[in-house]
Amino acid sequence: MNDLEAIFSFLKKSHMNYKNIKLLFFAKVVGMIVMLFLIISSSTINLYGQTDSSYSFIVAGHAYGAHEGGNLGLHPKFLASLDAGFDTLTRFMVFTGDLVNTSTAESWQQVEQELTQYGLPYYYSMGNHDANAIGISVFETKFGKTYYSFDYHRERYIILNSTEEDRSISDAQLEFLKGKLSSTGDTINTIFVFFHEVLWNSLEKYKGVLANSRSRYAQIKAYSNYWEAVHPLLEQYPNKEFYVFAGDVGGNTDAISAFYDNWGHITLLASGMGEVADENYLVVTVNDNGTVVFKLVPLNAGVTMKDIEYYSVPKQPESIFGDSMVSPNISYEYSVAEIFNADSYIWKLPEHASGTSTGNSIQVLFDNGFTTGSISVSASSQGFGSSASDSKTITLNGASIDNEKAEKLEINVFRNGFQNYVLEILSESTDDFQIEIYTIDGRMVYTKRIRSWGGIVQQLQLPVSSGNLYFVSITGKHGEKLKTIFIK
């Protein structure tokens, strides 16, 4: 006999009326529904064991705001943004230095009072404005030391102090970092690292990045040990994902407000506020599947932040399109594919060539004195500097540059079984080559840079059609013309 049959049997024996039967039956059904709900919901009560464990945290850089601001504690616009509401998945906040303009007991008390109202845990990393005896005492009272770590869910958070040793990570902290990395085991695969100054700006690649003044290349290259000591430690763990945050941006009128770059499994990020129109803080969401997503939240009305990847040194243009062989006193167009975050392009022309452009294409006129030379172009973005440049060697039509490699280079063109043209290249040594195909009237229809490995035949399928006449130009990595063959 099941539960419901037992209920009806009991009611019969008890001579209960129909109304009471209905009430008792309804109560039993409701009880079963409640039990089912509790069973389903129990998997989401424990944050660490729940089915959907996605969460967010806030990263705020240069959080006291403007140098000349009158606030005792945090930047008023930052507080106003939090007051207006923040991501409901937010579990805590991390401040990447410069929480106070002047480190006094009163300013730190003000910060504590302002943050307590949001009901979220919060963590500090030390900035140069925070670093005095009072600031150190605040850190040691709250966190035990001025550098520390904590785990949340399946992630590890490591907060470092880049002021203990000016704009660098001290030896003691490097040992601390080593220990925290080596103890992650197999359970922690995502690691977040925080400090104040943009320590990676000591690399020449970031020479044009306008962080706050003390974090710019010229000011930090003699101090930072990021590339010599910190980055190599992270590289020792290729199976883990690292996200490294700095906060020394947004605090000068000409400064960038955010930064992004990716080095494989190591991502570099910065966000800040104070003296720029697009001042912001960063929301980091860690999804249940392990992916990490970033969103910049602007502090000023009418400002829309772009995706975080936009705030980066532009990538190098991949290839310059245009003729390699030219005739004098004729204008030729050269172009590169657009780089999504470039706002201008820097073209450099050889002697006896003229043209002006800040776009991704340029018209170039070669005069009677031109014989050979290179055109180069780099992508540029205001506040982030310029990319490495790409170049293309140009030769006067009919000119020939002899080279020993030409005799050791075998080129064949044939049709395969699908009636497609295939170019076969064989070099006795490992060399870089530029392959270009032109129509008979000099219009380039194909270009590709390849590396031919010594003694190994390499084949390329060519996008040309039968019934037309083409010529194929092969030049070496220094622009020397090696071979010219015809296709019909």
pLDDT tens digits along 195-217: 999 999 999 999 999 999 999 99
- Do 292 and 368 lie in one domain? The reply is no
| CA 61 remoteness from chain centre | 17
pLDDT-based confidence at residue 429 (cuts at 50, 70, 90) = confident
| 294 in the same domain as 381 | no
Q: Which residues contact 422 (CB under 8 A, 6 or more apart)?
A: 413, 414, 415, 416, 459, 460, 461, 462
Whether residue 186 is found in the same domain as residue 37? no
Sign of CA dihedral 56, 137, 159, 148: negative
| Residue 251 sits in the same domain as residue 167 | yes
Indicate the residue among 281, 310, 339 that finishes a domain.
310
Could you tell me if 155 and 235 lie in one domain? yes
Stretch 105-126: mean pLDDT, rounded? 98
Residue 459: pLDDT over 50 = yes
Phi, psi dihedral angles at 394 (to 5 degrees): -115, 135
Do 377 and 408 sit in the same domain of this protein?
A: no
255-269, 301-315, 361-375: which range is least confident on average? Answer: 361-375
State the average pLDDT for the chain. 87
CB hemisphere CA count around 85 (13 angstroms): 2
**93 and 188 share a domain?**
yes
CATH value at residue 360: 2.60.40
Q: Are residues 135 and 279 in the same domain?
A: yes
Q: Is 144 exposed, middle or buried (0-12, 13-18, 19+ CB in 10 A)?
A: exposed
**Cα–Cα distance between 354 and 368 in angstroms, integer?**
12
Average pLDDT over every residue of 337-350: 97
Q: How many domains does the chain have?
A: 4
For residues 294 and 360, state if they share a domain. no
Q: How do 385-386 and 353-354 pair as beta strands?
A: unpaired
Looking at the domain assignment, is residue 318 inside a domain?
no
So what's the pLDDT on residue 294?
98
pLDDT value at position 20? Answer: 46
CA distance 291 to 55: 11
Residue 281, SS3 per DSSP: strand
Q: Which domain holds residue 423?
A: 404-487
Task: Tell me how far apart the alpha carbons of residues 247 and 130 are, in angstroms, rounded to a whole number.
Answer: 13
Can you give the CATH number for the domain in which 423 is found?
A: 2.60.40.10
**Domain shared by 175 and 222, yes or no:** yes
On whether residue 317 sits in a domain, the answer given is: no
Predicted pLDDT at 404: 63
